[in-house]
Amino acid sequence: MNLLMRTAVSLACVVGVCLTGPARAAEETTMAIPATSLAFTVSYIADDLDLWGKHGMKVKSSLIKGVGAFNALVSKATEFTQSSGSSFTRASARGQKMLAIATTIDRPIVQIAFRKDLADTGGFKAGQPLAQRAKLLADRTIAVDAVNSIAHAYVLLVAQAGGVNPTSVRVVPMDPSSMQAALEAGRIDGFSMTLPWALPPVVENKAVMLASGPDGDPSDLMPFGHELVVTRPEVCAEKKQLCVAMGKVFAEATAYIHDKPAETQAILAKRFPALSKEVLAQSVEYLKRSTPRNAQVSVEQLRNVELYNVRAGLLKEGDRVKEFDDLFTNQYVR
């Protein structure tokens, strides 16, 4: 290449029109998220660091509460969702088979905050076995974000662990932002939610932590596919590079939580400005405990989710999914 040609190439690259070809346009896609919760910290990291753009995507995220996010995927209103494993396997059992391509949370990240006055009179002590703590749920009113959500299922599961008839627990749907005020006013006796909602009243000594998935309640369901990145099988078949890029984003975001906890806390502080530094710091510790370094999905995670559904009474034993191999792939997060 002569000097004149090299100069022309250099000038072209300076103005962004290299002779190697035009820049590839970002691939647009959609993501449905079922709640405002620290369970979706990986997405907040991807947004703030623009990991989407780094891997050639433009992602439009939408908040669609509860199981509506999964239903949006089924109806083709979105291409991806971050679904609870509970919703994912229940849908599979009913013939709505989707494809999980990553795990972002591998233990139940739900907690139950319970009124301190009721806990004190009921003999609650920190460190008691779950079966003993769970007895306090009998005949109480517990708020959840949505019926049949992962938070609702957790209440039923914990009640079952304590030998409490789930029908004796009055479950009421409520916006998470209203739960603490309702608890302090005595309108509810407790509430079940994903991080960070149960932590503030506990830190403020207005409630006790009756049960905590990040702390291992219940201990025999680990590892647990709490949060999965899910799509329709045909999306990855038709847009393989999109799924490759999506897998890379979530692999990087899960590693970021472990490697940069202070930076993770700073990102969350912008999303949840009402939370105290103490609550945020505890939340990040819970996240590190609950976020896998390896975002791969496993049969064991999904099998434990099915046990969770059966124990909570959301799925009959005979309706359980028996084979999981065609429900997930790890080719995008290796």
Q: Which residue did the predictor score with more confidence, 160 or 21?
A: 160
pLDDT tens for residues 184-217? 999 999 999 999 999 999 999 999 999 999 999 9
On whether residue 2 sits in a domain, the answer given is no
Question: Are 96 and 149 members of one domain?
Answer: no
CATH of the domain at 161: 3.40.190.10
Q: What is the mean pLDDT of residues 47-70?
A: 93
Question: Are 238 and 208 members of one domain?
Answer: no
Residue with tokens 């009921």: 122
Question: Are 254 and 118 members of one domain?
Answer: no
On whether residue 53 sits in a domain, the answer given is yes
Q: What average pLDDT does the chain have?
A: 91
Question: Are 144 and 210 members of one domain?
Answer: yes
Domain C-terminal end among 219, 235, 251:
219
Distance CA 303, CA 122 (A): 34
Helical residues (DSSP H) of the chain, grouped into ranges: 3-14, 41-48, 51-54, 68-74, 85-93, 116-121, 130-133, 150-161, 176-184, 199-203, 233-238, 240-259, 261-271, 277-290, 299-311
On whether residue 6 sits in a domain, the answer given is no
Q: Is the pLDDT of residue 22 over 60?
A: no
Number of domains in the chain: 2
On whether residue 15 sits in a domain, the answer given is no
On whether residue 17 sits in a domain, the answer given is no
**Choice among 18-27, 60-69, 74-83, 256-265 with the minimum mean pLDDT:** 18-27
Question: Are 167 and 69 members of one domain?
Answer: no
Question: Helices 299-311 & 150-161, crossing angle to 10 degrees?
Answer: 70
pLDDT tens for residues 67-110? 889 999 999 999 999 998 988 998 999 899 999 999 999 999 99
Q: Which residues of 261-270 are buried (b: 16+ CB within 10 A; e: fewer)?
A: eeebbebbee
208 bridge partner residues: 114
pLDDT, position 281: 96
Q: Is the pLDDT of residue 164 over 90?
A: yes
On whether residue 333 sits in a domain, the answer given is no
Question: Are 124 and 212 members of one domain?
Answer: yes
pTM: 0.84
Question: Are 86 and 132 members of one domain?
Answer: no
Domain C-terminal end among 219, 253, 285:
219
Question: Are 256 and 171 members of one domain?
Answer: no
Backbone phi, psi, residue 331, to 5°: -70, -15
Domain of 192 in residue numbering reads as: 110-219
Domain C-terminal end among 160, 191, 219:
219
> Six-digit token pair at 136?
């306090």
Question: Are 103 and 228 members of one domain?
Answer: yes
On whether residue 308 sits in a domain, the answer given is yes
Q: What is the mean pLDDT of residues 29-42?
A: 92
Question: Are 30 and 75 members of one domain?
Answer: yes
pLDDT, position 25: 80
Question: Are 315 and 186 members of one domain?
Answer: no
On whether residue 82 sits in a domain, the answer given is yes
Question: Are 32 and 79 members of one domain?
Answer: yes
